[in-house]
Structures are given as C-alpha cells and as structure tokens.
Structure 1
C-alpha cells in the first residue's frame, strides 16, 4: 500500500511538472510519445459526451464519474477507465480545484496491438465470460510503476523510440493480468463472435447516417440477429440501435459546433428523416436544443 501511494505521488508530480508555466486553459499535452497524453482540469465540469477511443485513462488526482450505457461509475486516484472498443460515453470531473486540479494520463492503443501481443507472448485466454468492453479498474503497483517510467522517459528523447514500445507492451501485460483483464482479452482476442461484434461496431460507425436493420447488419458480420443483439449489448452495454443513435447525435453536435449549418440540415445529414425527432432526441441527450447547445459550446470553447 505504501508503494502504491508513493507511485501515485510520483505520477502527480510528474504530470503537474509538464503543465508548469502553462495557463489554466491548457487542458492536455500530447507528449513526444504520440500515444501518451497528459490531462489537467482545474475545476469540476459539466457532463460531457463523446466517443471514447480504445485507451486507458489513469486518474492520478481528483475524481470523475462516467456513464457507460445505463451504469454510472465513480472513480478516483489510482483507478483507470479502460475502453477496449470505441464507445459513446458521458464523463464529468467531480473533484478539482486550482490548487489540486484533476490530473490524468491517457494511453491510446489499437485492439490489434494487444491481440498481437497476446499471440506473441502466448498469454492464455481467460475463462469464458460476457463482460463489457469498457470498465473501471483499480491500478496495481506494477501498472503505476510502468506509467511512472513512461513519464520519466519523456526526459530522455533519445531512448523514446525503443523503450516506449517496450513499456507499452509491459503496460498491456498488467492490463491483461488485472482482475478485469478478461474483458480486454475477450474484446481484442475473443472468439469469432466477439470479433464479429467489433466488425459490427465498425460498420455502424462507417454507416451511421444510413437506416440500420439488425437483419442486414447480422448478415454483414455472419451472425444471427438474436445472437448479434445479445453479444453486442454484452460488450457495449447498449443495443446496436442505441449505439447508432449516440454516434449520430455526437456527429451532429460536431457539425453544429462548427457553425454555418441549420439544425434541420444536420438532422438529415446524420440520418434522421424527421427534424422534430432529431431535436427531441438531441435535447434528451445533451439537455438543450441543437441551436442552444451549439451556441453554449462555441461560447465555452472560445471563452478567455
């Protein structure tokens, strides 16, 4: 326990040091290791929605809550949120001050990287289980130590090309060996059915603006409609139609924030046939009409 606390303190100091001399509006730093991002948020935030790409987000100071499907998960220092597949989520920083801001470390990865590592190292598959591919886990000391060495590596640019790859593989090992690692293993290296769900997710993201018929999608990924629905919900905590709806609305929000386009035009662009239905579902998801939400987002984005 002492080692765990010491490592968290090392991580807090390392992340804070990289933000030293930057204004409070600077919220993230993409480091010299392109898949390693440092995060600092000085105040609690409103709930924000987005597509979480495959990644591990380690919280080292502050607190956060994330809504994945119907489940609200709260977590704090030493916990990480892992997404093995691209997932629509809603997240909110709940504890942060100027003196003790929210601090985090995000490691991005691709599922095929972990699948290749599992094959190369011949890591045994976990017992069969149906687990969601996005979850919160308490980090062990071994995982914290790897992240601390990754941050220390930023001070040795010459070593980054070689050692960062080795440290990333070591991180994969700790993620796979953690209690929740079965979900990661199954998501990236599971049976043909799990791989078909990954294909279904990719298909929906590429065709989100088109009508979704479960029977058609099932044929695309070589599954029965009933098995597709059951397996999809087990992995993503939502049905294919719910997943498509969230992807559509998140894409609509990006288009509206860019400006210069009417809500009705955006509705048709992301696949809605009825602008009024689009507005109702948009308000239900984001708490404001498309026009109001876009104006609020632009004001907050460009505020000094």
Structure 2
C-alpha cells in the first residue's frame, strides 16, 4: 500500500515562501517549461501543471524536495506517495517509476532539485568528522528512498533560492549553503545509509564499481562471475549486495539501462526499432519488443508516439 501524505499545497510559512519564489522565477523568465535550470548548474526547479502517467526512468544521484502537489514513486516493490516537505534522495543511479498524482494549472506541482556528487559528500564527512546518526531510517537499505524534511533543511533551501536574486554573492555563499544542505542530509535519520553508500561509491570498489561498469558496458553480454572477479567479490555476495542496494539483480539493472537508452534513441527519431534493439545489446528484435512492452506498457513505436503527443522531448 502507498504511504499517504494528504497534502497538496505547501504547509508552513517556509515551504509557502519557497514555492512562491520558485514560481516567480518561472514568471520572470516567461517560461512554462517543465525544467528550469538556474545559474547554479547543480540546482534546478520542476514545474508540472497536470497529473502525469506512471513513467519509468533513471534517477541519478540527487535529492528533490516537493513544494506543492503530490507525487508517487515506485522503487522495486515499494510504492510511496508524498507531498510538500517530503523529498526523494538517491545515492546511486536507480531505475525507478515516478508519477505526479496531483497538479493543476492553478496549483502546479513544484519541486527543487539538487544534483549530488559522491566525492563532495565524502570530503565533507571526512573533513567535518561527522558522526553517524543513531536513529536508523526504516527504508534506507535501498539506493533511493523518500523521507520528510525538517524546518532546518527547508530554511537552507529558502536561503539558497533567495541567493539567486543576488548573482554577485553566488560564487561564495552558494557553496556554503550547499555544504549545509549536504550536512543536514547526512545527519538526518536516513543519513547513516546515505553515508555508507556514498563512501562505498567513492572507494571505487565492490558494488559502486559494478554499477559503473554496467553503465559503461550495458550493450555487452553480462557474465556475473566475470563481473564479480573484476570488482573483487564473490558471485553470491555481488548478487546479494547489488540487489539490496538497487532492488534488482545486476542483469535486471542492465536490462533497465538498455531499455531506457532504447527509448531515448527511438524518441530522437533517427533509427528504426531493429537498429535500436541491436545498438543497446539485443540480438533478437522480438525479444526486445517483448521486454520493451513489459517495461513501458506499449510496443516501442506506440510508446514513442504517445510520448511525443505528451510533448516529451530528449
């Protein structure tokens, strides 16, 4: 059953002001585009004026706090529905399904996203000698989860968004506020798992190295024994720890990357289905079609046509 958070509009003065300031950025630029890239390359806004269909994609290391509206996220078999003040946090690249469930033209879904850098977080943890939080988050074993923000984290985001109005201050003060946000993410109840996953990733061994190898070589045949040897693990340990982090096996993870890349290539319109299937690693177009339909709910060309009608672009 989905976790409930029966909130649509911002609750609390901090979230209300934060939402108003994000909306004002869209108005000043005169754009109603979904994504708004700010003057800080790692900070962006999201605006969605209507509910969306459940869509599968790759969630990169990031955190995104909801300011207004409601969203649903499917991570493995875990479905979470959440609203203002909650945020999604991904420590590694994770195939997930997401859907905006409540939004309208008069009250759009608004979110603020920060891209995360594992090395930056690890350096912060080491330099500040941050200790692990004693309280453990019940859903923090996977590489991505949803949790609730506190006022201190919300207030840091508000100061960061306000800072965009004083460009001369950005080079210095934005770094300090980002460090504060990272500190609050690490010391939150889910911070212990976030810390462990971040440090494991920067060490370049084990699961982090396996994830990186699969991403680089997704079109190649994947042999678990060879991958385990490459990253210095046993096959059983690799399979167990990989599934604990990504909620899927290495082969399932590779398949999701292949299908997402195939969808991107098809949406570009430059290749036909058979060539796309071959490029992403399938030898059988019929198998590709079956697995594509199973993942996205429609045959490749039908799915891409639907995306184009919805205005989805690369």
TM-score, L = length of structure 1? 0.93
Gaps in structure 1 of 5+ consecutive residues: none
How many Å separate the matches in 2 of 1:54 and 1:287?
26
* CA shift digits 1:224-251 (9 cap, x unpaired): 0111111111111111111111000000
User: In the alignment, which of 115, 118, 134 is matched to residue 111 of structure 1?
Assistant: 118
Q: CA deviation at 1:265?
A: 1.2
Quote the residue 1:90 is aligned against. 97
> Residues 10 and 139 (structure 1 numbering): CA distance in 2 closer, same or farther, change over 3 Å?
same
Q: CA deviation at 1:5?
A: 1.1
In the alignment, does 2:215 pair up with 1:209?
Answer: no
User: In the alignment, which of 216, 221, 225 is matched to residue 235 of structure 2?
Assistant: 225
Q: CA deviation at 1:260?
A: 2.8
User: In the alignment, which of 167, 174, 183 is matched to residue 184 of structure 2?
Assistant: 174
Q: CA deviation at 1:122?
A: 1.0
Quote the residue 1:159 is aligned against. 169
Q: Is the 8 A contact 1:126 1:185 kept in 2?
A: no
> Residues 74 and 207 (structure 1 numbering): CA distance in 2 closer, same or farther, change over 3 Å?
same
How many Å separate the matches in 1 of 2:237 and 2:203?
9
Q: CA deviation at 1:299?
A: 3.0
Quote the residue 1:66 is aligned against. 73
Q: CA deviation at 1:194?
A: 8.8
More deviation in 128-137 or 97-106? Answer: 128-137
How many Å separate the matches in 2 of 1:226 and 1:193?
21
How many Å separate the matches in 1 of 2:28 and 2:184?
33
Q: CA deviation at 1:189?
A: 1.4
How many Å separate the matches in 1 of 2:32 and 2:302?
23
How many Å separate the matches in 1 of 2:308 and 2:150?
40
Instruction: Give the alignment of 1:120-135 within 5 angstroms.
Output: 120-125=127-132, 131-135=141-145
User: In the alignment, which of 279, 290, 305 is matched to residue 295 of structure 1?
Assistant: 305
Quote the residue 2:280 is aligned against. 270
TM-score, L = length of structure 2? 0.91
How many Å separate the matches in 2 of 1:47 and 1:85?
21
1:56 is paired with a residue whose SS is: strand
* CA shift digits 1:156-202 (9 cap, x unpaired): 10010001111111001110111111121011114999942111111
In the alignment, does 2:244 pair up with 1:234?
Answer: yes
Q: Is the 8 A contact 1:24 1:42 kept in 2?
A: no
Quote the residue 2:61 is aligned against. 54
Quote the residue 2:3 is aligned against. none
* CA shift digits 1:53-93 (9 cap, x unpaired): 11000001000001112211111100000001111111100
2:131 is paired with a residue whose SS is: coil
User: In the alignment, which of 193, 197, 207 is matched to residue 207 of structure 2?
Assistant: 197
How many Å separate the matches in 2 of 1:169 and 1:100?
31
* CA shift digits 1:242-287 (9 cap, x unpaired): 1111000000000101113121111111011211111001001111
How many Å separate the matches in 1 of 2:276 and 2:200?
37
In the alignment, does 2:144 pair up with 1:144?
Answer: no
Q: CA deviation at 1:293?
A: 1.1
How many Å separate the matches in 1 of 2:60 and 2:143?
12
Q: CA deviation at 1:125?
A: 4.1
How many Å separate the matches in 2 of 1:266 and 1:18?
39
How many Å separate the matches in 1 of 2:312 and 2:55?
17
Q: How many residues align?
A: 300
1:16 is paired with a residue whose SS is: helix
Quote the residue 2:37 is aligned against. 30
